[in-house]
Amino acid sequence: MATGPKIAFIGAGSTIFMRNILGDVLRLPALARAHLALMDIDKTRLSESEVIAQALIKNHGSGASYSVHHDQRAALTDADFVIVAFQIGGYEPCTVTDFSIPKKYDLWQTIADTIGIGGIMRGLRTVPHLWQVCEDMRQECPNALLLQYVNPMAINVGAIARRYPDIAHVGLCHSVPYTIAEIARDLKIDPASIDYQCAGINHVAFFLSLEQALPGGKRRDLYPLLQDGYARGELPREGNAATERCHNAVRYEMMRRTGYFVTESSEHFAEYVPWFIKAGREDLIEKYRIPLDEYPKRCEEQMARWQEQFDAIKTGQGIDNEPSQEYAAQIIHAVWTDSPAQIYGNVMNSGIIPNLPENCVVEVPCQVDGHGIAPLPVPPIPPHLVAIMRSNINVQELTIEALLHERIDHIYHAAMMDPHTGSELDLEQIWSMVDELLFAHRDWLPAWTQMSKTQHAKTSPTGRSVRRA
């Protein structure tokens, strides 16, 4: 009897995300006999994920099987695909710390998972664990494809590529299809009618072209509609449940100033640039309706909502699993069946975007088939968009360098170069804040981040070190 692929899900305790991804997989007939190897270190959450896996298999009437693991290497053995979705340190204590300490310095954040001081700290906590996944893959499934869903996306992808170039991997984010859906809602058109080309870096990619396919083979540029609607105050539309609290004013204002629509939501993008979140500028927060501390609120709401859903599933009320817009199932299907598909993925730049630095991490269209994932080259990006991206790339690259070479000083340099942090704090404040964060996160960080000044001076390639409290 034919069998499907083995899919190892590392971080399966991310139950909502696991449900969405594996629901998409089991919906595809060619993958209906997949084996799902679920792994997490949290026994309670893994047991919840087992209940969800059982419900999904029953719901789809598939011949899929599953196993649960607390040992990572056991889950990875002979896997064809590896999905990674975990949050090191969890919402509590680590995410709470990423928000609470910067607030002492009047440094406000919204999501804090991509760049900014929150993104830097999350990268330092996360990359060592991703490297361990890659090390175990070398031993247990060296030919598997790693589908990496963890933020900070660009830092993670770059760190994996630099240390484990032999591991086939791609970073995946849903911001491109989600943005198309939001644009379609605002313009009241079918999202399937929109043709586009998008490129840049994760969360700071822009739609270089944005057109609607019309009957008779005609096409129309959607940018004039977006620009005119925003100028008249009609866009972004009110009453959109997807953006009710996280209003899209920041993205529309960026389109007004740059001519291009950015892929990431306004609450995310506001903290990647120096123009929207400023201490003492409540007028900006109000004008652009920026939801400060959004991620902690979202986490608490999701946990409460999920408990209600899980209780219903446990009592036999079934599982509601609509198709998601995640790319994982499309990729697995395309590779497993050698059926071409196109997705947007995060990969190392090697001339794909010619006017971005070599070996930074870019988000570009990719062709997927039985040979794997092939990034597609895109034309040069307008220089003012490149300038915005470079300000973020600086932070990403310095964080990766800190991790690769165990350089404490580059952690501080990354914070210095962050557009939002650097526009709000002076150097003494930045140094002091990083000191506090490194100490607060000490149980979740690699040991070298806790070296004393004397120890670090002996190991640093330059012989220089930073002041540590």
CA distances to 148, 170, 269, 354, 357 from 158, rounded to whole Å, are 11, 10, 21, 18, 13
Give long-range contacts, CB 8 A cutoff, 24+ apart: 445-454. 445/124, 445/125, 446/124, 446/128, 446/403, 446/406, 448/406, 448/408, 449/124, 449/408, 449/411, 451/408
Nearest to 362 by CA among 342, 377, 372, 340: 377
Q: Residues 225, 187: contact at Cβ < 8 Å? A: yes
Other C-beta atoms closer than 10 Å to the C-beta of 189 total 14
Q: At what angle do helices 427-440 and 408-417 cross, to 10 degrees?
A: 130
Q: Residues 220, 154: contact at Cβ < 8 Å? A: no
Tokens of 169: 């991997």
Q: Residues 172, 148: contact at Cβ < 8 Å? A: yes
3-class SS at 268? helix
- Give the active site residue among 60, 174, 420, 456: 174
Distance CA 303, CA 295 (A): 12
For residue 174, indicate whether it is catalytic. yes
Burial of 337 (0-12, 13-18, 19+ CB in 10 A): middle
State the DSSP string of 101-162: HHHHTT---SS-SSSHHHHHHHHHHHHHHHHHHHHHHHHH-TTPEEEE--SSHHHHHHHHHH
Catalytic residues: 174
